Structure 1
Amino acid sequence: MRLYLPATLDDLALAADGAVTLTPRVAHAVTPELRAALPDEDEEGLEFSAHLAAADDSLALLAVAPAAPQLRLVVTVDVPAGAVREGTATDAGPSAVELVEPVGRDAIVCVHVDEPALRDDVRAALAGDEAAAERVAEADLLWYDVAELAELPR
């Protein structure tokens, strides 16, 4: 099952051996609830919607992790269906699911992160600046292959 995990760059810190373990958390996916909420969207549109929800949740994670680099991060993973519990995170939107097992680097498909130039807007958005929050919401995240994890901006 494809999931979009909201994260911080500190969550994705590489161990000395290159290992990564992401802990259980609320994630986003194309769920039956999302399909019902967006009946006119195609599969790509549904995936993008789930991805955007994860980016919003990443911003919320940054609000409680001020020491983390202030860039949103979405980690795309493929996990077995048994690693996911649907219908338990309903307050987090129609794409919300619960990742109930840790996932390692081998499950990561790619990551998306804000470009470093957006850092000041992320900080301002977290401080309540509505114009900055709009700029952050409209900004596209940059795509990185799993082989590029060590090269992510911090």
Structure 2
Amino acid sequence: MRVYLPATARDLAAPRISPRTGHAVTPTLAGAFPEEDQEGLEVSASLCAADASVMLLAVPGAEAEVDRRVVIAADVEDTQVWEVPVTGEVLPGTVEVTEPVEWDAVAALLVDEADAESDVRAARTGDEAAFERAADADLLWYDISERSVLAQELAASPR
């Protein structure tokens, strides 16, 4: 199953991706958007993960993180994932990844371009208009082979 995991730049330097809440194309997500094809559902799941990345940047202790959303697209075994029931706070397609994900299971990295930093910085402090602008910004696609360079580049970015 392809999962989209919200992350921060710090995650790119980790030896593996820790278990976490992510987003995936599930029957519940497909049922919520019956007019969407598989590609549209994948985009929806990745955008939910991008929004969740902003939330990771807003938690206490994340102040030193670079102001860019990071999403890790990984292929995991179905046994490593369970779908979270939809509630007022939980969107369709929300999943819990219950085991660490190795980097060789990662298909792609999605990261904001530098121009999005000001909106992401404002969004992480609760600015709803900035959150919407950040949500409208496209994430850049990186191959997993670019992870180390990308991690170093983001670590060196001014905060």
TM-score normalized by structure 1? Answer: 0.90
Which of the residues 39, 42, 51 maps onto 1:44?
Answer: 39
**Alignment match of 1:122 (pick from 120, 129, 145):** 120
SS at match of 1:147: helix
The answer to whether residue 38 in structure 2 is matched with residue 74 in structure 1 is: no
SS in 2 for 1:12: helix
Q: Which residue of 2 aligns with 1:24?
A: 19
Once the two structures are superposed, residues 16-65 of structure 1 have per-residue CA deviations (whole angstroms, 9 ceiling, x without a partner) of xxxx3111110100011101110110000001000000001001000012
Query: Of the candidates 89, 92, 116, which is equivalent to residue 90 of structure 2?
Result: 92
Structure 1 partner of 2:80: 83
Q: Which residue of 1 aligns with 2:9?
A: 9
Are residues 23 and 88 of structure 1, via their aligned partners in 2, closer, same or farther at CA, if it must alter by over 3 Å?
Answer: farther
Q: List structure 1 segments (4+ residues) > 4 angstroms apart after TM superposition.
A: none
Aligned sequence identity (%): 53
Letter in 1 for 2:133: R
The match for 1:61 is: 56
Deviation at 1:68, TM superposition (A): 1.3
* Residue range with higher mean Cα deviation, 60-69 or 46-55: 60-69
Contact 1:85 1:97 in 2 (8 A): yes
For structure 1, which runs of at least 5 residues remain unmatched after alignment?
A: 15-19
How far the C-alpha of 1:83 sits from its partner, in A, is 0.8
Structure 2 gaps of 5+ residues are: 155-159
CA–CA separation in structure 2 for the residues paired with 1:117 and 1:80:
35
Paired residue for 1:33? 28
Kept in 2, the 8 Å contact 1:88–1:98? The answer is: no
Instruction: Provide the aligned C-alpha RMSD in A.
Output: 1.5
C-alpha contact 1:30 1:50 (8 A) present in aligned 2: yes
TM-score (norm 2): 0.88
Aligned length: 149
Question: 1:88, CA displacement in angstroms?
Answer: 5.0
Of 22-31 and 128-137, deviating more is 128-137
**Which one-letter code corresponds to 2:119 in the other structure?**
D
1:79-129 alpha-carbon deviations (Å, 9 max, x no partner): 111111123575431010100000111111110000012111111122233
